[in-house]
Structure 1
């Protein structure tokens, strides 16, 4: 083995040369590295594109929700106004198709129009007056409103004048306005009469709107004596009038949709005539949507576009972060390949240096091993021989002169004999410690109870001592394990401070390990001294009071570590000490 080690130190084996060539090749960048970087870049671009599409899809879905919500809000608001107008119809029906100005004013005030119906200009009543009814109608109305006039003149054969409208002050110009004078107003009121349903007019300009912006009227018909005619002829015959509400479109939209909360701009047209246009439109909207919504006899065209608020709200930098982060990772990956390549070359250079140093150390170690073997030979022959001679001389002196020596000399002779025996023990233990690890032992079947009993009997323990162990068979290296158990049981007896004692050997299987515990009931070892107790030549009591060399636990620890195990002392310094050994189940391979 030593010769082989010397050959390895002197020349490189063919396998080592091939391995070095592989390492040198691994130290260069190859097509595989560039392929990995290229694939990583492609994955980054793919993740960026996918993330961008996902974000766009989510943003488009959000736009669709905002657009639909805008339409639904307008429809809900119009239904709210419709309910208010039908409420007015119910009031008139309950009064026999007639209503006074005071009654209508009270009804309008109960609605709290400005708070409950934001965007509505007012709510009013229009009666249908035939030419033969005109004089009586004017006489009746002028009793409470002397200056009441119907305007403007027209060539229709009936009249539809605004009789009441509340609040009256902002709508004063509409009082007396005859809806028959203008095509959109008149066509829708006739449609409401004939259908019996609520109807909107086409785009108009309200007379009370000083800004002359687009608006419309909302009609709900009521019939004579609260009838609900089922035929067209009956509805035309029994029509009494309509409740109505005038709207300025911009006010309606402001009341319906608070612009600071909206993320879409809306343009509404009716028959190509613009009703409303949102000034907060984005010059280059992210999304557009056009839809037609039936609205009480009209077709409102909604052109909805995302506005600047929407652009800010959905601004998502995630795809860009993914792209930048991925490119950074790709750069780091390429840098890592370059770094590893250079590090590999540096490692090879350093390995060459270390190999040269290792070869030198190997040669020195071989020389040290030879010197240690020579020392072992000298210790076993040249040191033990004079030591045996000294012991023999001591024996002769004890036999020949013991009767003539004074008590003090007898004590010195006894001390010399004890020191010689301790020296021999120390020399034997030192040689045994040096040989640990020089041999490899095969695992054998060992019965733990039988081995413990055999060791206990061999040690010739005092009568007051006992040793127990479980009756189990284990596969373990017998010779080193026997040495370990012998030393630990011997220590438990030797270091006991009483005439009686109990030693317990226990066993557990751990993952991949045998665990043995040798527990005694003697004096404990204080925790600060646990480490010291496993060192060479250490005893916890004066040497003259303890038999042995002080190397037992150190040798046990070295045997356990050589086998790949571990020794642990468990004691709080009171009564009892537990020595726990972990011993691998499989034989350790060098």
Structure 2
């Protein structure tokens, strides 16, 4: 009666194990929540990185323009120095030679020209024209105007692309004239407001860049002296579109820009035929103001198509997809285990009914079948209970997150991931050994000739971590079932290496014939096994060290015992618990 009650209780446990419980659904739900949390956090971190990258690109664009304008300023002041160094008024030939020596087209891309504008008072105008006629008979000042002084462009190089500007009197137009007077009065380099250059056939926005020079190379320190001693300015004309092409490496830019001078639009990537693919719905945009040589330029900067393509948020998407796949795998695994338990129980019930209907002549077969049925039930119980902890670890940690979030995870999370990998390996090892144990073919095998020394060497050579271990055995041939004996010997040698507490060790195999039995003993110099644990060590899933220290499943000695007992032999442990362990096996001479 007591046995019947116990069997009913065991069956009830198996029935419950074959169902999905609230704990299973809770685990799946927590896994989904963890997945979406990791996805949201990754997306937030990635968005912050992209914003920082955009800020760097925006600053880079503005700084490049500032640096290029500083370079152009240095050219103009270099022209001033050259003019001051010449004792007399420079000629058009001298200016042309000097300009060509600078190789403007090669060294200063973006600049449209490099020239000199003289200040000519009305009483000096005829004398100025006479000097220019001597050098260039076709030179003339144009257009006419009513201002009290003249600021004609005397020289400009390269001449071919700026021919229309020769003789142009800057005083005819207010933006050009007001800026040149400010440069004269301040003694500093200044830009004009937006203008249309006479040499620009496209009639696009541009500007002039002035640096003043004074008579006798002087540097007056007040406005009155500057106005009295002004001699002219060196200048550079700029077409804004050409300047931007020379300043920005457009194929490498991740932002598109617009530039205003006050209310006047100087440049717009949307309107220019260039390599920048403008994003109509940019991820980021900003405005920046900067003062450049007397003018305030406003930059409107936004991310372009290249930025979007090269910095997509695919990392967080991978995390989300990978996490959902893990969640789905976990749910399928729970359902599979539940179904497997139900099928195992159903199969066990069917076999029990059939066995009860068998005749007395099949009693022995019935006992063997019940044994197999119990093994199957035990395996189902283990699959649904003992393996639940490693499976929970897989669910909680998620090995795929390590690959996708390596750069953003804190150190504590990385430690968790390391723990996950360790537990996953142990779970796989446990499952493999458990399956091996359950699938052992225990049909009786006939004896075969086995050389003990050769077999020990072969097994040692195939084991991992065997470089520092030696195994000696007598060079004798014995008649014994080869395959099951090899499994026993391999597990014995593997256990000695795995559980050794030193990097090197010695394993010795002894052999003798005792009372119609093969007596095979394996002795090592590793840590001993206390006598109180001799029986426990040969049970399933038992290890005497922490599972985090020894990567084992605790199945080795249990598997050995099962094989040896099937052949009507015996296994026992001989150890004082301090140093060295001896496993003694008695195997019948005849199977």
Superposition TM-score, scaled by structure 1 size: 0.61
Report the counterpart of residue 454 of structure 1 in structure 2.
none
**Per-residue deviation, residues 85-138 of structure 1 (Å, max 9, x unmatched):** 111000011114732111111111011111111111110001111111111111
2:475 pairs, out of 491, 507, 526, with 526
Say which SS state the counterpart of residue 115 (structure 1) adopts: helix
Q: Secondary structure at the match of 1:217?
A: strand
In structure 2, C-alpha distance between the alignment counterparts of 1:122 and 1:530, rounded to whole Å:
103
SS at match of 1:177: coil
Change in 2 beyond 3 A, CA 1:126/1:355: same
Deviations 1:481-522 (CA, angstroms, capped at 9, x unpaired) = xxxxxxxxxxxxxxxxxxxxxxxxxxxxxxxxxxxxxx9xxx
Question: Unmatched 5+ residue regions in structure 2?
Answer: 271-276, 369-471, 485-511, 524-533, 539-556, 559-571, 584-591
The partner residue of 2:514 within 544, 548, 551 is: 551
Cα distance in 2 for partners of 1:123, 1:344 equals: 90
Does structure 2 conserve the Cα–Cα contact (< 8 Å) formed by 1:97 and 1:226? no
- What's the CA shift for 1:283? 1.3
Deviation at 1:345, TM superposition (A): 1.8
Once the two structures are superposed, the pairs formed by residues 375-524 of structure 1 within 5 Å of their partners are none
CA separation in 2, counterparts of 1:243 and 1:91? Answer: 10
Change (3 A) 1:237 1:346: same
Task: Identify if the C-alpha distance between structure 1 residues 156 and 20 changes in structure 2 by more than 3 Å, giving closer, same or farther.
Answer: same
Q: 2:36 aligns with which of 40, 45, 49?
A: 45
* CA distance in 2 between partners of 1:555 and 1:358 (Å): 37
Per the alignment, residue 583 of structure 1 pairs with: 574
Matched residue SS, 1:12: helix
Please name the residue that 2:315 is paired with: 318
Cα contact 2:256–2:301 (8 A) shared by 1: yes
Q: Which of 238, 259, 271 pairs up with 1:247?
A: 238
- One of 108, 130, 137 as aligned partner of 1:117: 108
CA contact (8 A) 1:97 1:225 kept: no
Superposed CA deviations along residues 181-215 of structure 1, whole A, max 9, x for unmatched, are 11110111111111111100010000011111100
Structure 2 Cα separation of the partners of residues 282 and 67 of structure 1: 15
Query: How far off is 1:23 after superposition?
Result: 3.0
Q: Does 1:300 align with 2:292?
A: no
Contact 1:264–1:310 (8 Å) recurs in 2: yes
Instruction: Say if 1:527 and 1:128 are closer, same or farther in 2 by CA, change over 3 A.
Output: farther
What's 1:232 paired with? 223
Structure-1 residue corresponding to 2:345: 348
2:72 to 78, 81, 84: 81
Query: What root-mean-square deviation, in Å, do the aligned CA atoms of Structure 1 and Structure 2 show?
Result: 3.6
Q: For residue 530 of structure 1, report the CA deviation from its aligned partner.
A: 8.5
Aligned-pair CA distance for 1:148: 1.3
Partner of 1:33: 24
Partner of residue 4, structure 2 = 12
Q: Can you give the 5+ residue segments of structure 1 that lack an aligned partner in the other structure?
A: 1-6, 369-518, 536-548, 567-580
Q: Which residue of 2 aligns with 1:208?
A: 199
Classify the secondary structure of the residue corresponding to 1:300: strand
Aligned to 1:575: none
Instruction: Name the residue aligned to 1:284.
Output: 281
Distance change in 2, residues 1:273/1:104 (3 Å): same
SS in 1 for 2:517: helix
Kindly indicate whether the alpha-carbon contact (under 8 Å) linking 2:43 and 2:313 is maintained by their aligned counterparts in 1: no
Of 264-273 and 230-239, more deviation after overlay is shown by: 230-239
Q: Residues 528, 103 of structure 1: CA spacing in aligned structure 2 closer, same or farther, 3 A cutoff?
A: farther
> Are the aligned partners of 1:85 and 1:243 in contact in 2 as well (CA < 8 Å)?
yes
Could you tell me which residue of structure 1 aligns to residue 89 of structure 2? Answer: 98
Equivalenced residue count is 398
Of the three residues 307, 323, 335, the one matched with 1:338 is 335
Q: Give the counterpart of 2:158 among 135, 149, 167.
A: 167
Aligned-pair CA distance for 1:525:
4.6
The DSSP-based 3-state class of the residue aligned with 1:240 is: strand
Tell me how far apart the structure 1 counterparts of residues 30 and 266 of structure 2 sit (CA, whole Å).
56
Find the aligned partners of 1:525 and 1:170 in 2 and give their Cα distance: 100
- Mapped to 1, the partners of 2:82 and 2:100 lie a distance apart of 14
- Given the alignment, which residue of 241, 248, 252 partners 1:261? 252
* Whole-Å separation in 2 of the counterparts to 1:55 and 1:525: 66
2-structure distance, mates of 1:334, 1:73: 56
291-300 or 54-63: which moved more? 54-63
Larger Rg over CA atoms: 1
For the residue of structure 1 that corresponds to 2:278, the secondary structure is coil
